[in-house]
Structure 1
Amino acid sequence: RNSNLVTGPLKDMIPPEPIWNSFVDPHEIIGIGNIMLENKKPVVHLHTGLGRDGKASIGCMREHNEAFMVTEILLLEIDGMDVLRKFDSTRGFAPINFGEKEN
């Protein structure tokens, strides 16, 4: 219903300046993402493709989002791997860091 989507960087520069798109009408949405620790808290990172009436967009859902009617989620746990997200101020985002643990 209400969605906030980053659909790319404005320019080819680091840190990236996001292009924000907001949607208020219900859309069909499919996505893939992960839930990882960042600053010792679980954070959802979700890339989605969404469409309505022949118009489509792809991007990263951020900030506040609401579902209309149904949200179907398949959640798989990957165990035995040290992985977390750590914000990199130079790059302007929190990349996945394999082989690291939070203290």
Structure 2
Amino acid sequence: MSNGRLSDNAITVAESRYFMDGEDWESCAQRVGSVVAAAENSHVMKYAPKFSEMIYNLDFLPGGRILRNAGRQRGSMFNCYHLPMGDSREEIGQFYKDSLILWG
């Protein structure tokens, strides 16, 4: 990859919030690019390097939740969910169940 240059301050923030253990900016970009490309099913190998390079070069920068959680076992890449909640005990219980599954 060519020129992904983060400032010293950005590296400090990324190390404390987004990088996995032993990761640097290049490997973070590769991890996130590969996970995002996985949505393309049959074209993963085509898009993973392109996405990774765009992230590394700062041409496109996903949100912090995506940088942190892409490729992790736990943690969501989404900032917002809509869960319906009705008035009955069963519907309220289902709401709590769905919430626990999403955030648990």
* TM-score, reference length from structure 2: 0.21
Higher gyration radius (CA): 2
- The structure with the largest strand share of the pair is 1
- The structure with the largest helix share of the pair is 2
